[in-house]
């Protein structure tokens, strides 16, 4: 039989730089291939498997729902969909939730909500802002919001009326915000941008400008939300309430689902027929999501994530101090951590790590992005640290 890697190359549109590994099983913090090798997974499906692989509670919820029905269509209310929406509302600022299939679709819904909100104020209040270095998805709207030209240069023209602000630059912010602005899309921590966090000073100024010019603050928590940054949402670190939050990735415990959380004052902006999705809010994925939220909001879970974060960042800084010629900086919050290296060393470390049974991801060319399961044990963290330090 043809090896799965060759089959993939032959029949799947080659849009990804696949690793030549045939994964056949996943359990907890580990993946296993068909050659009997195990891999400590430090990027969790790019922040999707926040509860590790094969979480029994999520699996039980999925199996229970699959015995009932897979799909209904949005002509019917669905118990798991309503339950997940209730859990999200009760644990956030929001009063209503719209479900999509992915993060970029959640952002598309937010773009439409923002544009309609702006147009309800006056005819030219349609301009959208986001950050340089940001990443908001691959659809035309999400790609246009993304502040990285490499994702857009082959697909122009992009969506009109979108500008990008230099990250954490107050002067640039002041020059680009106006009464024509309908929304500012922000990431509290830029993931694809190299694990760089928004400053409190910038956030405070943005909130004041939002009030002055009456525009929405839309927080893309697709990667940072649901415990990844130590709190349920990364925005909770700052003293403000967003108008909209978009979610996806870990929400379905590995199944595809996205969500747009909407503040009470905006819940009537989009009306029946304005937006929709055939598969958005799939009952099986929603059942998984309800189980995920139950675990994340259980007593002590997020405190444990913060404790692991403090331990891991402390140890990484000690290692960085020992190897100043290799590591430029360690940064991050919760269990989204970036290790910035000099030159092209990050990819060298990634390649060497793979040969030692450690899966690492690299972003922005020279930043190792750590996104381990939130359930990772201290023993597993020590295993990572030992392999990583050995490679250095």
| Strand order across the beta sheet in which 361-363 lies | 327-333, 336-341, 367-370, 361-363
Q: Which of these three, 247, 273, 296, is where a domain ends?
A: 296
What pLDDT score does 3 carry? 85
- Whether this prediction's pTM lies above 0.75 is answered by yes
Q: Does the structure show a pLDDT above 90 at 365?
A: no
Q: Which residues have a Cβ under 8 Å from the Cβ of 309 and sit 6 or more positions away?
A: 230, 332, 333, 334, 335, 337
Domain check: are 20 and 104 in the same one?
no
Distance between CA atoms of 314 and 320, rounded to whole angstroms? 10
Q: Which of these three, 278, 296, 314, is where a domain ends?
A: 296
Domain check: are 102 and 217 in the same one?
yes
What pLDDT score does 364 carry? 86
Domain check: are 15 and 126 in the same one?
no
- pLDDT tens for residues 64-93? 999 999 999 999 999 999 999 999 999 999
Nearest to 193 by CA among 162, 231, 156, 166: 166
Percent of the chain predicted with pLDDT > 90 = 97
Q: Which of these three, 270, 296, 322, is where a domain ends?
A: 296
CATH number of the domain that residue 164 is part of:
3.40.640.10
Domain check: are 99 and 154 in the same one?
yes
Domain check: are 354 and 312 in the same one?
yes
Q: Does the structure show a pLDDT above 60 at 355?
A: yes
Q: What are phi and psi of 168, to 5 degrees?
A: 65, 20
Domain check: are 84 and 40 in the same one?
no
Q: What are phi and psi of 252, to 5 degrees?
A: -95, 10
Residue written as token pair 């990772």:
376
- Do 113 and 141 touch, CB atoms closer than 8 A? no
Range of the domain at 318: 4-54+300-391
Domain check: are 91 and 70 in the same one?
yes
Mean pLDDT over 160-186 rounds to 98
Distance between CA atoms of 74 and 2, rounded to whole angstroms? 41
Domain check: are 84 and 191 in the same one?
yes
Domain check: are 211 and 74 in the same one?
yes
Mean pLDDT over 383-390 rounds to 98
Domain check: are 81 and 185 in the same one?
yes
Domain check: are 16 and 146 in the same one?
no
- Do 377 and 346 touch, CB atoms closer than 8 A? no
What is the pLDDT confidence band of residue 133, given thresholds at 50, 70 and 90?
A: very high
Task: Output the six-digit token pair for 70.
Answer: 């897979």
Report the relative pairing of strands 336-341 and 367-370 from DSSP bridges.
Answer: antiparallel
Q: How many separate domains does the chain show?
A: 2
What pLDDT score does 2 carry? 54
- pLDDT tens for residues 218-274? 999 999 999 999 999 999 999 899 999 999 999 999 999 999 999 999 999 999 999
Mean pLDDT over 6-11 rounds to 93
Q: Does the structure show a pLDDT above 50 at 281?
A: yes
Mean pLDDT over 176-201 rounds to 96
Domain check: are 243 and 308 in the same one?
no
Q: Does the structure show a pLDDT above 80 at 320?
A: yes
Q: Does the structure show a pLDDT above 60 at 38?
A: yes
| Strand order across the beta sheet in which 38-41 lies | 23-27, 30-33, 38-41, 358-359
- Do 44 and 253 touch, CB atoms closer than 8 A? no
């Amino acid at each position: 039989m043809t090896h799965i890697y060759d089959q993939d190359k032959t029949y799947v549109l080659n849009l990804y730089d696949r690793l030549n590994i045939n994964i056949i099983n996943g359990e907890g913090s580990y993946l296993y291939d068909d050659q009997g090798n195990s891999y400590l997974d430090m990027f969790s499906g790019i922040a999707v498997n926040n509860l590790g692989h094969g979480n029994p509670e999520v699996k039980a919820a999925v199996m229970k729902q699959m015995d009932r029905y897979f799909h209904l269509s949005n002509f019917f209310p669905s118990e798991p969909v309503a339950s997940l929406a209730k859990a999200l509302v009760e644990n956030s600022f929001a009063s209503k939730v719209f479900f999509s299939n992915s993060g970029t679709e959640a952002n598309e819904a937010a773009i439409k909500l923002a544009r309609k909100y702006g147009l309800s104020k006056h005819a030219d209040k349609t301009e959208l802002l986001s950050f340089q270095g940001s990443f908001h998805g691959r659809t035309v709207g999400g790609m246009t919001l993304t502040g990285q030209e490499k994702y857009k240069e082959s697909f122009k023209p992009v969506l009109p009326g979108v500008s990008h602000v230099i990250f954490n630059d107050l002067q640039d912010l002041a020059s680009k915000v106006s009464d024509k602005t309908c929304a500012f899309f922000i990431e509290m921590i830029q993931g694809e941008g190299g694990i760089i966090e928004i400053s409190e000073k910038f956030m405070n100024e943005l909130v004041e400008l939002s009030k002055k010019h009456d525009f929405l603050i839309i927080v893309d928590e697709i990667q940072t939300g649901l415990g990844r940054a130590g709190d349920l949402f990364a925005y909770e670190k700052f003293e403000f309430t967003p108008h909209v939050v978009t979610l996806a990735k870990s929400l379905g415990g590995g199944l595809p689902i996205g969500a747009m959380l909407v503040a009470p004052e905006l819940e009537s902006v989009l009306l029946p027929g304005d937006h929709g999705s055939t598969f958005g809010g799939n009952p099986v994925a929603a059942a998984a999501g309800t189980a995920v939220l139950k675990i994340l909001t259980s007593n002590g879970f997020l405190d444990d994530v913060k404790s692991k974060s403090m331990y891991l960042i402390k140890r990484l800084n000690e290692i960085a101090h020992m190897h100043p010629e290799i590591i430029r900086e360690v940064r991050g919050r919760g269990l989204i951590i970036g290790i910035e290296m000099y030159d092209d060393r990050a990819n060298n470390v990634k390649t060497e790590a793979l040969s030692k049974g450690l899966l690492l991801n690299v972003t922005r060319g020279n930043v190792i992005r750590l996104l381990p399961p939130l359930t990772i044990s201290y023993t597993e963290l020590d295993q990572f640290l030992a392999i990583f330090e050995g490679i250095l």
